[in-house]
């Protein structure tokens, strides 16, 4: 067993910023599923929303967020985040992040994205996430109080309740765990050796990102498999608003362009959405045109594609000179060029793709979950900021602000010893004799989630999806119980759990709101009510008894 003050699972912006804020006073273990920079944060193009200009206001940022959120944002949390935004950006600048400056070098260049009433997006060209990620990861690697475990994937959380229900382990006697449930650490698979290690920690932070890989088409990296959401649910945490999956309107449509996002900034700087004949279509869908919130634009594109039998639509930025395009979208320009698309001369073929999970593990304004000493930050959490639809460039901001509040809460606690935790028992399992089940199940899941639980939903489609999920979960649970675990098996198990939560949440919402659009329930109810799912049995996940 390894012991640390804080265990952080996930190495995106939420995990990195929290680790750095804690490391001066705590020993930290940072677990990364792949390399430290293989994260969704690293892929983020647009920027970070913050009130930095004199003609902008925190009230305006709050109102834009509330409007996009379809009535489900927590106004208190939204205001807190907006108020802390400037400080969060200044902290990144102090860390050495090189944001794009104005042409006269008198300040930072601010751009505008859909749903924002002002230019308030600070960015590093069109690779903001990469600039932030690489800057902070280098600091993490060099910090003596941070132990980095790359190529490790968390298997499950260890809680006092699970230990109490194990026949081989008495309940912990320490008053440190006097609450009904508390997180004590986690089991983590070393993907290189294939061994599962036990990590004990006074506090555990889930910063594992979203679950975009539950869909066939996504802008997310392969690591986005809903691990934190699934682990927290199995441990006994509530989840909220899981039906609100944001489909980014503009993912590059090309057979070799895997998951490449065309940033919203392209539309913010004048890019126009067009049909193959060159005509614009947003005029018929929303008065805000190309700068409408993402759910509106994604549904408009989906509608036009289905109505006309199109494979894609086009995003046209040709009105801007080449020098402007190269300066503002260097990464997009070069990537498209590598596929034979010169965006200064040719419109960009785009389609919607699953992009962001607005729901997740329920937390308070400090990132605390239902389980004591367990925090959830970033996309894996439901803080109340995003409501029914996330406003563009509020995601990286949320990681920073809640990383700060969670770290402050952890630092305020009195340190107490961790109990001895049980090791991972593999004495009753064997090596898998047939891995094809994992591959085929993953493919089937992603396809029917795309077809049945996509941008437009119906009761019949949702019912079919849930039926298939139950069948697949039974097969995978049996496989999990009898064979040694692997990275692919862990991810598939988590994706099936998250898929079930998404579908059950969607079925329970008998209206259309934000990112959830139902053809059977097209109306929007007068009173916005969050969807909250609560585990029926907190002790349901003890498949393997501790030894």
Active site residue 457: no
Angle between helices 227-235 and 487-508 (to 10 degrees): 70
Q: Is the dihedral of CA 366, 408, 18, 98 positive or negative?
A: positive
329: DSSP letter: -
Strand 2-9 and strand 381-382: pairing?
Answer: unpaired
Q: Compute the distance between CA of residue 428 and CA of residue 480 in angstroms, rounded to an integer.
A: 12
* Residue in the structure block whose two tokens are 């990144």: 92
Strand 196-206 and strand 348-357: pairing?
Answer: unpaired
Contact 367, 409 (CB under 8 A): yes
The C-alpha torsion from 390 through 391 and 394 to 399, rounded to 10°, is: 0
104: DSSP letter: T
* Residue in the structure block whose two tokens are 């400090």: 366
Out of 294, 335, 509, 544, which one is annotated catalytic? 294
Taking the mean position of all CA atoms in its chain, how far away is CA 439?
23
Residues 6 or more apart from 229 whose CB is under 8 A from it? 208, 211, 239, 242, 357, 360, 361, 380, 494, 497, 498, 501
Q: Compute the distance between CA of residue 145 and CA of residue 133 in angstroms, rounded to an integer.
A: 19
Report which of 383, 414, 399, 448 is spatially closest to residue 77, judged by C-alpha positions.
383
50: DSSP letter: -
Q: Compute the distance between CA of residue 510 and CA of residue 8 in angstroms, rounded to an integer.
A: 37
Q: Compute the distance between CA of residue 152 and CA of residue 11 in angstroms, rounded to an integer.
A: 11
Q: Compute the distance between CA of residue 342 and CA of residue 334 in angstroms, rounded to an integer.
A: 9
Query: Cα-atom radius of gyration of the chain, to the nearest Å?
Result: 23
Q: Compute the distance between CA of residue 372 and CA of residue 374 in angstroms, rounded to an integer.
A: 5
Neighbours of 342 (CB within 10 A): 12
Q: Compute the distance between CA of residue 199 and CA of residue 28 in angstroms, rounded to an integer.
A: 11
Q: Compute the distance between CA of residue 386 and CA of residue 69 in angstroms, rounded to an integer.
A: 6
* Span between the terminal Cα atoms of the chain, in Å: 13
Residue 210: strand, helix, or coil? coil
β-partners of residue 61 are: none
Residue 30: strand, helix, or coil? strand
* Residue in the structure block whose two tokens are 């930072």: 108
β-partners of residue 156 are: 187
Residues 6 or more apart from 77 whose CB is under 8 A from it? 365, 383, 384, 385
Active-site positions read 294
């Amino acid at each position: 067993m390894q012991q640390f003050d804080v265990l952080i699972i996930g190495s995106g912006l939420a995990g990195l910023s929290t680790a750095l804020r804690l490391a001066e006073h705590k020993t930290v273990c940072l677990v990364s599923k792949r390399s430290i920079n293989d994260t969704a944060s690293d892929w983020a193009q647009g920027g970070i929303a913050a009130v930095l200009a004199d003609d902008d206001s925190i009230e305006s940022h709050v109102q834009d967020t509330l409007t996009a959120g379809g009535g489900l944002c927590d106004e208190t949390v939204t205001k807190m985040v907006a108020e802390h935004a400037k400080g969060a950006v200044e902290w990144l600048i102090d860390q050495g992040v090189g944001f794009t400056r104005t042409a006269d070098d008198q300040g930072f260049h601010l751009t505008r994205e859909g749903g924002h009433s002002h230019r308030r997006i600070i960015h590093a060209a069109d690779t903001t996430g990469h600039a932030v990620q690489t800057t902070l990861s280098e600091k993490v690697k060099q910090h003596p109080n941070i132990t980095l475990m790359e190529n490790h994937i968390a298997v499950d959380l260890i809680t006092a309740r699970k230990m109490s229900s194990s026949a081989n382990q008495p309940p912990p006697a320490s008053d440190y765990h006097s609450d009904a449930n508390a997180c004590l650490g986690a089991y983590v698979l070393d993907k290189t050796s294939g061994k599962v290690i036990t990590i004990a920690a006074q506090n555990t932070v889930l910063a594992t990102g979203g679950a975009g890989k539950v869909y066939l088409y996504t802008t997310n990296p392969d690591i986005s498999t809903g691990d934190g959401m699934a682990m927290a649910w199995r441990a006994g945490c509530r989840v909220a608003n899981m039906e609100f999956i944001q489909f980014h309107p503009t993912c590059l449509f090309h057979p070799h362009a895997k998951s490449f996002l065309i940033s919203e900034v392209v539309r913010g700087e004048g890019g126009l959405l067009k049909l193959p004949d060159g005509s614009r279509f947003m005029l018929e869908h929303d008065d805000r045109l190309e700068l409408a919130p993402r759910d509106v634009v994604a549904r408009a594109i989906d509608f036009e594609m289905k109505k006309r039998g199109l494979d894609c639509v086009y995003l046209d930025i040709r009105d801007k000179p080449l020098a402007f395009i190269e300066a503002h979208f260097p990464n997009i320009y070069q990537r498209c060029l590598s596929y034979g698309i010169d965006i200064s001369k040719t419109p960009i073929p785009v389609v919607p793709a699953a992009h962001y999970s607005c729901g997740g593990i329920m937390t308070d304004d400090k990132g605390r979950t239902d389980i004591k000493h367990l925090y959830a930050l970033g996309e894996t959490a439901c803080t109340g900021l995003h409501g029914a639809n996330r406003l563009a460039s509020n995601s990286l901001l949320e990681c920073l602000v809640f990383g700060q509040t969670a770290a402050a809460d952890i630092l305020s606690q009195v340190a107490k010893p961790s109990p001895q935790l049980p090791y991972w028992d593999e004495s009753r399992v064997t090596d898998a004799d047939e891995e094809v089940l994992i591959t085929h199940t993953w493919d089937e899941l992603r396809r029917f989630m795309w077809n049945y639980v996509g941008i437009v939903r119906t009761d019949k489609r949702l019912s079919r999806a849930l039926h298939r999920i139950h069948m697949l979960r039974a097969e995978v649970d049996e496989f999990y119980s009898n064979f040694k675990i692997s990275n692919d098996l862990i991810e598939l198990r988590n994706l099936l759990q998250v898929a079930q939560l998404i579908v059950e949440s969607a079925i329970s919402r008998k209206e259309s709101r934000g990112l959830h659009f139902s053809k059977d329930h097209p109306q929007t109810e007068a009173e916005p009510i969050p969807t909250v799912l609560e585990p029926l049995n907190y002790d349901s996940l003890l498949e393997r008894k501790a030894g």
